[in-house]
């Protein structure tokens, strides 16, 4: 019914305002004459009311005090009414003064009567507006099965959130309380709603039914946000967030912009503090190349490099559509940096030579790689040709064209690899390190190594979201599997920082924080979707995939790393591996990769080159068994 009600025409509000002011004038006359009707001249009061109506009509029309929608009355409406009455009172006072000086009886209002009239008019105009506003609010919240909401953040955005909800007739929301971490705000009231301290939030949830909690503060520490969501999930309360301030339109947002909390936001950590000065000096005015530039990490590297003002930025990728989409996105940024988008495969020598000869990059970020473990286990030759041969080609060209810095993006799966993908990345690391050890060139080769990235292409987060949207089941490979996670911006910032501090030959390891059990991740994502794990959405264990291990190693403990000036970046202590005749050996590996019939021999050679490569849940475990038997035979002999 409320949704179907039309807004009252403005001329009716205008007439009501005039009527309220006239009644206030009559009341002021009565007070001024001690409520004695016999002392009041009907002719005098009628003349004064006529003059008052004319003055108020002109003033109200000028200030448009009648223009606001009554049910949404706010501070601005009160200000307009106050200014209108003030101007009206001043005009009446001046007319009375002129009349008195001229000895006329046109209109004479004593000061007391004028003051009483102004106060009564203000109270009358505001009171009926507030009464209408709260009548609508009462009908919407009490009789139409409202949602009970708590707002986290008792600041300007919190107040704006409350008013957005109240102004949306379809929301049927009743705000129960504000929650704030500032103890000085506790117990106070904003717009009729009480503020409680965060420590009292569980008591509130236990004592009252709450449907939703809306996070309206923009600077909530990640740890506090995670704690808040955990409490809400325990009480089956939906958590929503207000969009960032730059997403508001003309300083306002709509209820449709409220977003469900994302799992990525709960896994975030405190912002990273970087020494931008050194990186700025290294990048500004330089020609920079990013391979794999349309991928998850590569594209973010490109975005962040723009702020360091390189002379030119070349984005190379073999995926046409993602490269085109990135070009459309960045062309609208107007950064002032010359951008070039180069479609090409890092495995193609002729195309890559063309790239280097045309642009002569001074800094190279090599992010091009195949990364999906099960797929590379099925197609090991592709892993070798892209991750190893592609890296070798770009590294060799970097020396030929006198690149100053070569920063390679590697993975935690290169540590004690159990799969072809991890072993291929380790082989790429070895080649880059061995190149760095040669003193015949000036290129600094730096390797960065980190774990899983939240929201990257094909990540577990996206797979879980898709499975939940389809009603389940959510598939987890093993109940005990754990992974390290990092956001895309965080990983990219650390890549840039590590690349700027390296002197050549280092493998930088990032502090990935605490590992996350994947099954806990699945349960939390289901609960964030408003469903119950095991009841609404089933969690199904499918078994470890080929090459997958229960946990990844980063070598980020104190025994295997040494610190840098940045607390989140460490240097791996593992000794650089030297492979004799590495060019010949790697060429043999690439030759084997060209023939499908020699696939097993190719993986066997990978295991020779990376002795710690022990396959797990893979067809290549047979090679480890053969190796073990040979070792046993040699011992006997």
- Pick the more confident residue, 183 or 317: 317
How does residue 376 score in pLDDT terms, banded at 50, 70 and 90? very high
User: How sure is the predictor about 232, in pLDDT bands with cuts at 50, 70 and 90?
Assistant: confident
Average pLDDT (485-514) is 82
Q: How confident is the model at residue 627 (pLDDT cuts 50, 70, 90)?
A: low
Q: Is-contact 484 512, C-beta < 8 A?
A: yes
What pLDDT score was predicted for residue 278? 78
* pLDDT at residue number 5: 46
- Identify whether the C-beta of residue 133 lies closer than 8 Å to the C-beta of residue 73: yes
pLDDT on residue 1:
44
Q: Which CATH architecture has domain 280-452+486-512+553-585?
A: 3-Layer(aba) Sandwich (3.40)
| Res 212: pLDDT | 84
Look at residue 499 in the predicted model and tell me its pLDDT.
84
More confident residue, 574 or 442: 442
Strands 363-366 and 539-541: unpaired
What is the pLDDT averaged over residues 240-244?
Answer: 79
The pLDDT value recorded for residue 258 is 72
Average pLDDT value for residue range 123-146: 66
Average pLDDT over residues 182-207: 86
The residue that leads in pLDDT, 521 or 349, is 349
The pLDDT of residue 558 is above 60: no
- 231 has pLDDT over 70: yes
Q: Biggest alpha carbon distance in the chain? A: 135
State the Cα–Cα distance between residues 464 and 524, nearest whole angstrom.
Answer: 11
- Cβ atoms 407, 495 nearer than 8 A: yes
Q: Which two tokens stand for residue 243?
A: 């969009």
Better-scored residue on pLDDT, 124 or 388: 388
Rg of the chain over all Cα atoms, to the nearest angstrom: 36
- Contact yes or no for 417/423 (Cβ under 8 A): yes
State the Cα–Cα distance between residues 240 and 234, nearest whole angstrom.
15
Tokens representing 289 are 């190349």
Angstrom distance (rounded) from CA 59 to CA 66: 11
No. of helices (H) and no. of strands (E), the chain:
22, 22
The pLDDT assigned to 637 comes to 43
pLDDT at 633: 46
Least confidently predicted of 27-41, 376-390, 514-528: 27-41
pLDDT over threshold 50, residue 42:
yes
Dist. CA 619–CA 479, nearest whole Å = 23
Q: What is the mean pLDDT of residues 387-395?
A: 96
pLDDT band at 248 (very low <50, low <70, confident <90, very high): low
Q: What is the mean pLDDT of the chain?
A: 81
Choose the weakest-confidence range: 1-10, 22-31, 141-150.
1-10
Cα separation, 338 vs 116, whole angstroms? 70
| Higher local confidence (pLDDT), 461 or 256 | 461
Question: Residue 593 pLDDT > 90, yes or no?
Answer: yes
Nearest to 558 by CA among 568, 575, 570, 540: 570
Q: Which residue has the higher pLDDT, 23 or 99?
A: 23
Percentage of the chain beyond pLDDT 90 is 26
Q: Answer yes or no: is pLDDT of 55 > 80.
A: no
* CA–CA distance, 162 with 90 (Å, rounded to integer): 36
Side by side, which strands form the sheet with 287-291? 338-343, 312-317, 287-291, 363-366, 405-411, 444-450, 507-510, 569-572, 561-563
CA torsion sign, 451 to 411 to 372 to 345? Answer: positive
Q: For 399-430, how does the pLDDT look when each residue is reduced to its tens digit (9 = 90+)?
A: 999 999 999 999 888 888 999 999 999 999 99
Predicted confidence (pLDDT) per residue in 136-156, tens digit? 666 555 545 678 888 888 888
Distance (Å, rounded) from C-alpha 616 to C-alpha 622?
10
Per the model's pLDDT, the better-predicted residue between 334 and 209 turns out to be 209
Question: Strand 561-563 relative to strand 569-572: parallel, antiparallel, unpaired?
Answer: antiparallel
- What pLDDT is attached to residue 574? 66
Q: Which CATH superfamily includes the segment(s) 145-261? A: NAD(P)-binding Rossmann-like Domain (3.40.50.720)
Cβ-in-10-Å burial (0-12, 13-18, 19+) of 496 comes to: buried
3-state SS assignment for residue 520: helix
* DSSP run (H or E) holding 475: strand 474-476
Q: Where are the domains of the chain?
A: 10-139, 145-261, 280-452+486-512+553-585
Looking at residue 471, its pLDDT comes to 87
Global pTM value:
0.69
Quick check: helix, strand or coil at residue 213? strand
Which carries the bigger pLDDT value, residue 474 or residue 167? Answer: 474
């Amino acid at each position: 019914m409320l949704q179907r009600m039309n807004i009252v025409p403005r001329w009716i509000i205008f007439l009501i305002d005039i009527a309220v002011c006239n009644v206030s004038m009559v009341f002021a006359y009565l007070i001024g004459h001690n409520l004695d009707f016999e002392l009041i001249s009907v002719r005098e009061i009628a003349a004064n009311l006529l003059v008052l109506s004319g003055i108020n009509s002109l003033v109200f029309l000028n200030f448009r005090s009648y223009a606001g929608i009554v049910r949404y009355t706010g501070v601005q409406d009160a200000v307009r009414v106050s200014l209108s009455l003030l101007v009206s009172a001043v005009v009446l006072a001046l007319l009375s003064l002129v009349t008195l000086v001229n000895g006329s009886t046109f209109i004479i209002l004593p000061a007391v009567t004028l003051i009483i009239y102004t106060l009564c008019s203000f109270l009358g105009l505001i009171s009926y507006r507030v009464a209408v506003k709260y009548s609508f609010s009462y009908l919407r919240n009490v009789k139409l099965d409202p949602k009970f909401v708590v707002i986290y953040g008792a600041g300007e955005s919190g107040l704006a959130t409350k008013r957005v909800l109240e102004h949306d007739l379809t929301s049927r929301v009743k705000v129960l309380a504000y929650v704030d971490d500032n103890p000085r705000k506790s117990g106070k009231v904003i717009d009729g709603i009480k503020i409680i301290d965060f420590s009292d939030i569980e008591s509130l949830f236990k004592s009252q039914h709450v449907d939703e909690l809306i996070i309206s503060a923009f600077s909530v520490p990640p740890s506090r946000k995670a704690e808040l969501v955990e409490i809400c999930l325990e009480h089956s309360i939906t958590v929503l967030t207000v969009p960032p301030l730059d997403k508001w339109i003309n300083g306002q947002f709509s209820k449709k912009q409220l977003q469900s909390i994302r799992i990525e936001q709960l896994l975030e950590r405190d912002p990273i503090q970087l020494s931008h000065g050194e990186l700025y000096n290294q990048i500004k005015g330089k020609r920079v190349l990013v391979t794999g530039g349309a991928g998850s990490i590569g594209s973010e590297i490109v975005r962040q490099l723009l702020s360091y003002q390189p002379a030119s930025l070349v984005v190379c990728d073999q995926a046409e559509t993602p490269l085109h989409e990135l070009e459309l996105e960045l062309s609208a940024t107007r950064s002032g940096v010359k951008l070039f988008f180069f479609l090409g495969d890092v495995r193609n020598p002729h195309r890559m030579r063309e790239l280097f000869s045309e642009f002569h990059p001074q800094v190279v970020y090599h992010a091009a790689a195949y990364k999906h473990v099960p797929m590379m286990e099925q197609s090991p030759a592709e892993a070798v040709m892209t991750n190893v041969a592609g890296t070798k080609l770009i590294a060799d060209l970097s020396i030929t064209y006198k690149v100053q810095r070569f920063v390679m993006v590697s993975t935690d799966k290169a540590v004690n690899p159990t799969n072809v993908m991890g072993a291929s990345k380790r082989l790429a690391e070895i080649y880059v390190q061995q190149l760095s050890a040669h003193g015949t060139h000036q290129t600094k080769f730096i390797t960065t190594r980190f774990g899983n990235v939240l929201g990257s292409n094909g990540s577990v987060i996206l797979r879980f979201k898709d499975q939940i949207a389809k009603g389940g089941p959510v598939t987890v490979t093993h109940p005990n599997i754990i992974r390290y996670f990092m956001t895309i911006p965080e990983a990219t910032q650390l890549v840039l920082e590590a690349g700027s501090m390296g002197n050549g030959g280092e493998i930088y390891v990032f502090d990935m924080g605490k590992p996350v059990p994947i099954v806990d991740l699945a349960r939390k994502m289901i609960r964030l979707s408003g469903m119950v794990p095991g009841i609404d959405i089933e969690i199904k264990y499918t078994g470890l995939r080929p090459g997958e291990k229960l946990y990844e190693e980063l070598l980020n403990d104190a025994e295997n790393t040494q610190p840098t000036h940045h607390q989140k970046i460490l240097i791996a202590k593992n000794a650089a591996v030297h492979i004799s005749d590495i060019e010949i050996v790697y060429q043999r590996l690439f030759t084997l990769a060209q023939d499908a019939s020699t696939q097993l021999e190719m993986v066997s050679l990978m295991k020779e080159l990376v002795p710690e490569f022990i396959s797990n849940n893979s067809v290549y475990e047979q090679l480890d068994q053969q190796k073990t038997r040979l070792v046993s035979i040699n011992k006997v002999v």
